Chain A
Amino acid sequence: MFEQITRGSRVKSPWLLHYDCSSCNGCDIEVIACLTPVYDIERFGIINVGNPLHADILLVTGAVNHRNRKVLENLYEQMPHPRVVIAIGSCALSGGVFREAYNVVGGVDKVIAVDVYVPGCAAKPEAIIDGVLLGLEKFKKLSNNWRGVGGIFREAETNES
């Protein structure tokens, strides 16, 4: 019962965590622009949070480098199951123009599993909103099928509430 309520409310109002891995800022400010009155992603019940323990959706912008790779892995680890990762911008997809640079590992999918890819340099806010909604669909499916195998899900759940 309790599990069902949490599950339902998480789908209705997913919380979003944004992490910037060596992005040029272009995609970052577009992500923030999505939160402001003109694009207003909050109308979908989405709120931007700073704490990975509260987040359901992880938005990543920019190519991964050797140092922030650890931060990204860490954030991803802390997020409760099920979770959806959305990569935003050419950099996050493949490394973009920085692909050949010595300190760049590559796209986000080199480090963690990505569910939705939003292309563009910089990705437009419309595209980002579209991507987030696609991610939400997936999130819905994931949570319906999720039975907390091995207790990971349950544990995360109880910690959170």
Chain B
Amino acid sequence: MPVSTIPFGPQHPVLPEPIHLKLTVEDEVIKEVVPALGYVHRGLEKLAGTRDFHQMVQIVERVCGICSMMHAMCYCECVEAMMGIETPPRARYLRLIWSELNRLHSHLLWLGLFADSFGFESLFMQFWKIREKVMDLQEATAGNRVIVSVNVIGGLRRDLSPEQQQTILNILDRVEDEMRLLEKPLLGDYTVMKRTKGKGIVSAARALELGCVGPTLRGSGVAQDMRQLGYEAYGDLAFEPRVEKDGDCYSRLKVRYREVFQSIDLIRQAMEKIPAGEIAAVVKGRPEGEGLARVEQPRGEVFYYVKADGKKYLERIRIRTPTFANVPVLLAMLPGMCLSDVPVIVLSIDPCISCTER
């Protein structure tokens, strides 16, 4: 059988973002995959040389518009730890609430896109309809639908009033109800199972070896979630990572579907326990030394390394995003699969290219 090469992307209907994969196929079976990146590379890390460390919050938010809040949170945590700032307890809870809202909308977005990748368009529309509720919540509380710019070093810029808290809870009840209704068409559907079960399998050992993170790792049966670190208020709340055993696309789908409810649950718990008080600490001085921070984003662990020498500008900021860690595992999933499964498998790691390349 002759071998041919098929380009996938950078402009492809199922991918909202440009990634290019060179697929070597024999008949319809994939033999080898080589990714080509660089369509979204901007060079954000270098901007640390022209923006001071407070302004960098706005830059890191724009690493990725989907999990902007968590990027800023991770960066702030890192700098706060370097400067020895203790954030007020209320700020720790508020950050948790906003980051879980972020995760909710991101997972709903992904569930929709994933449904679209195997051609289930009405489900795509349904998920995005639910997602709009969360987007409205973000707009009502933070003032922007997408870039939830609430973080500053030392705490937050915005507070939630009791009425806003009540609205969040009310709307989340509705979101939960509607999500339950979609369980059967999503997880119980024959076609969905046909398209996702047994596709793109990675074992737990292989996933760990390839440095895989987030729902992709948990879909392979490894219970690792950075929220177990107990950053912000996660340490005070009851929390169990969601794990599935099979390591195929269906498992990853299930993990994310169940994490939607987990996020709703975490927000409810946080609303009950949230203390009153200040929302930001006073920031004096400048960061010095080296710092590391990790946060669980919707796609997995994000890693920040900051180096500073007491000047206004940071010396180095390094961002390792979850998709960056998941690309190697994607290359391991594809060989042996059918060409028509490529979109499904690529989407199953929830690729965020603008994160990957920054």
Contact = CB atoms under 8 A, between A and B. Distances in A.
Interface string A47-76: 001101000000000110101100100010
A122 B147 contact: yes
A124 B144 CA distance: 9
A6 interface: no
Interface residues of B, number: 40
Contact of B41 (A30, A32, A37, A67): A67
A25 B61 CA distance: 11
Contacts of B352: 25
B277 interface: no
B16 A28 contact: yes
A11 B47 CA distance: 43
Contacts of A27: 65, 146
Contacts of A103: 41-43
Interface residues of A, number: 39
A132 to B, nearest CB: 17
A20 B58 contact: no
Contacts of B18: 19-20, 68, 71
Interface of A: 18-30, 32-33, 36-38, 49-50, 52, 62-63, 65, 67-68, 71, 75, 96-98, 100-104, 121-122, 124
Given A25-B66, A29-B16, A97-B47, 20 more contacts: A20-B40, A25-B17, A25-B352, A26-B68, A26-B146, A27-B65, A30-B146, A36-B112, A36-B132, A37-B128, A65-B41, A67-B39, A68-B39, A97-B62, A98-B47, A98-B62, A100-B47, A101-B44, A102-B43, A122-B144
Interface of B: 10-13, 16-18, 38-44, 46-47, 50, 58-59, 62-66, 68, 109, 112, 124-125, 128-129, 132, 135, 144-147, 352, 354, 357
16 contacts: A19-B11, A20-B16, A24-B68, A26-B68, A28-B16, A29-B146, A50-B12, A65-B40, A67-B39, A68-B10, A75-B11, A97-B58, A97-B59, A98-B42, A103-B42, A121-B62
